[in-house]
Amino acid sequence: MKLSKRMIRTSLPLMLLASAIVPLERNAEAASPANIKIMLDGAPVVTDTDPYVIPKANLTMVPIRVVSESLQAVVDWKQNTKTVTISQSGKAITMVSGQKSAVVNGTKVTLDAPTEVKNGRVMVPLRFVSENLGVQVDWNSKTKVITLTTFTAGGGQSGGEVGGTDIRGAWISTLYNLDWPSAASYSDIAKQQEEFTKLLDDLQAIGMNSVFVQVRSAGDAIYPSELVPWSKVLTGIQGQDPGYDPLDFMIEETHNRGMEFHAWFNPFRANTATTTTGLASNHVALQHPDWIVKAGTASYIDPGIPDARQHIVDAIMEVVNDYEIDGVHLDDYFYPSGTDFNDAVSYLLYNPNKLLTKAEWRRDNINQFVKLLDESIHQAKPRVSFGISPFGVWRNASVDPTGSDTKAGITAYDSMSADVRTWIRQGWLDYVAPQVYWSMTLSAARYDKVTDWWANEVAGTNVKLYIGHAAYKVGTAETGWQSAQEIIDQLQYNKKYSAIEGDLYFRANELLKNPLGLADLLRDYYGN
């Protein structure tokens, strides 16, 4: 994903460029050289000399060959003066062995550790060099893996246009064990891991380069959390430890294939039922019953309660801070549509702006949540993208002249209190991925008309547009879905708009079932 204006790489060179790759631990021992692994855009970097850590400076040193071959920079080493000059895309870095300073395009910059010559190899500080060349550097202290992610000339991360290619992603649903893990794998670590790696391999084989994995489906988690219980999809029992960290495993396997991993959260759904039967003692419905609203057949966390919104942000930030994810992704579970939602008490208690209607107040609640989450993510990790996948129709033109030429029975703005237009115009999102789950021939909401509207909506903004496609409808009786060519026709239509930078498919197993040959068509389409 190309990063938005928030991305700062070299504007604060003294802070960024000389910072350590290993967290500061005053008494920490240097990591064993053989234990440090380097990954560049998902591929392992082979070195002829092992990287090592300078403990006092907390810097990782790598042979200059990593820079010249892996980062494709021009390196000039002068033995007589022990001076190395590294050049790439108009940037020149000069360092002298033994000196704790460097010159970057004529400006002198202090280093925490100098260039060294070890065993006949020139060793340079990795973070300093990489970030000066526009490369994101991340360190995983648990696995001792250094991840390098290159950036495009326009300043965006090449990983979100993965390898310079637009996002091609599949949603992986964990709810009800739909895509992963299978119910047959309860508490079976090896089987769950085997299922996920096969899922990745099969998706990559048909052209996918990203996965959007549901890590929070109903106030729970598929990772160890201090705030919410383990999801029951892992063991059959909510709150039961599966014996490993599935999220850590999935991220590593995804990145090992050069694919992106986006953590998908259902923000406000608390439970798929209105009872608390089977919930762990630390589930939000038991910890904060006053936050819960029962609507239809499900339970929701009331978005109108500020502390409840903060709780959800805190839960999401656990993942942002603790894992090397590529993005945070939300679906359209804000306020439920088509059912009563009894939030009269919170409307009276938490309406500081004195909004006249409950509809305005609800939209403002979600706006505050989106804004807070955006700020929290990008303050912690500017490179992590944040996007939302709203219902495909914002508003019908019959209700709002600026809406789309549709006759949808449900709309994001009126039915779910999702004011996506404001999110886009305020720049609270890096991308928006509307669920345009209709065919080119459905009169009530034609794919082309809905897509036109979204392309126009993001025009002139820094928000990218991904389109959500309904793989699950191929082969159904709904108008237009009697041929898998429908999806291909939609992809061809998307080429009209440079703003469309990604295709997402709901959902993984529906794709891999190859309905009416869809997987084969996509393999050919992306292969060409």
CA distance 104 to 86: 10
Tokens of 445: 């909401």
Contacts of 281 (CB under 8 A, 6+ apart): 229, 239
Q: How far is CA 59 from CA 117, 139, 154, in A?
A: 15, 11, 29
From CA 250, how far away is CA 274, in angstroms rounded? 31
pTM for this prediction: 0.73
Residues composing the chain? 528
Cα 96 to Cα 100: distance, rounded to the nearest angstrom: 8
Residues 138, 450: Cα–Cα separation, whole Å: 39
CA distance 151 to 486: 34
Q: What is the pLDDT of residue 151?
A: 53
The tally of CA atoms less than 13 A away on the side-chain side of residue 370 is 33
- The amino acid at residue 511 is L
What is the C-alpha to C-alpha distance for residues 57 and 26, in angstroms, rounded to an integer?
10
Long-range contacts made by residues 85-89, C-beta under 8 angstroms, separation at least 24?
A: 86/124, 86/129, 86/133, 88/133, 89/133, 89/134, 89/153
Only one residue has tokens 């804000």, namely 334
pLDDT in the model for residue 27 = 33
The three-class DSSP label of residue 346 is: helix
Residues in Cβ contact with 244 at an 8 Å cutoff, skipping those fewer than 6 apart: 189
For the chain, where do the domains classified as CATH 3.20.20.80 start and end?
Answer: 167-527
Q: Enumerate residues 6+ apart whose C-beta is below 8 A from 316.
A: 216, 263, 265, 267, 328, 373, 376, 377
Please answer whether residues 508 and 171 qualify as being in contact, where contact means their C-beta atoms are separated by less than 8 angstroms.
Answer: yes
**Torsion-angle region of 347 (φ positive above 0: left; ψ -120 to 50: alpha; else: beta):** alpha
Structure tokens at 412: 């994001």
Per-residue pLDDT in tens (0 to 9) along the chain, 528 residues: 433 333 333 333 323 333 333 333 323 333 444 578 888 777 777 776 778 877 766 678 888 766 665 667 777 777 778 888 887 766 788 888 888 888 887 778 888 778 888 776 778 888 777 777 777 777 666 677 777 777 543 333 433 455 445 899 999 999 999 999 999 999 999 999 999 999 999 999 999 999 999 999 999 999 999 999 999 999 999 999 999 999 999 999 999 998 999 999 999 999 999 999 999 999 999 999 999 999 999 999 999 999 999 999 999 999 999 999 999 999 998 999 999 999 999 999 999 888 889 999 999 999 999 999 999 999 999 999 999 999 999 999 999 999 999 999 999 999 999 999 999 999 999 999 999 999 999 999 999 999 999 999 999 999 999 999 999 999 999 999 999 999 999 999 999 999 999 999 999 999 999 999 999 999 999 987
What is residue 70's predicted lDDT score, i.e. its pLDDT?
64
Structurally, what CATH architecture does the domain formed by 167-527 represent? Alpha-Beta Barrel (3.20)
Q: The tokens of 103 are what?
A: 């010159």
Q: What is the pLDDT of residue 68?
A: 61
Candidates 251, 290, 206; CA nearest to 511 is 206
DSSP 54-108: ETTTTEEEEEHHIIIIIS--EEEEETTTTEEEEEETTEEEEEETT-SEEEETTEE
Tokens of 209: 């380069």
Pairing state between β 37-40 and 145-150: parallel
| Chain position carrying tokens 């002139």 | 460
Q: Max Cα separation, the chain?
A: 79
Please report which residue ranges of 139-214 form alpha helices under DSSP H: 189-205
Three-state DSSP class for residue 265? strand
DSSP-based three-state secondary structure for 222: coil
- Class assignment of domain 37-150? alpha beta
Q: How far is CA 86 from CA 41, 53, 129, 245, in A?
A: 20, 21, 8, 40
3-state percent breakdown (helix, strand, coil) of the chain, nearest 5: 30, 25, 45
First-to-final CA distance of the chain: 22
DSSP 396-465: BTTT-TTSBS---SS-HHHHS---HHHHHHHT--SEE--B----TT-TTS-HHHHHHHHHHHHTTSS-EE
Element at 312 (helix H, strand E): helix 306-322
Contact 300, 341 (CB under 8 A): yes
The pLDDT value recorded for residue 161 is 54
Bond preceding residue 507 cis, omega within 30 of 0: yes
Q: Which residues contact 78 (CB under 8 A, 6 or more apart)?
A: 84, 85
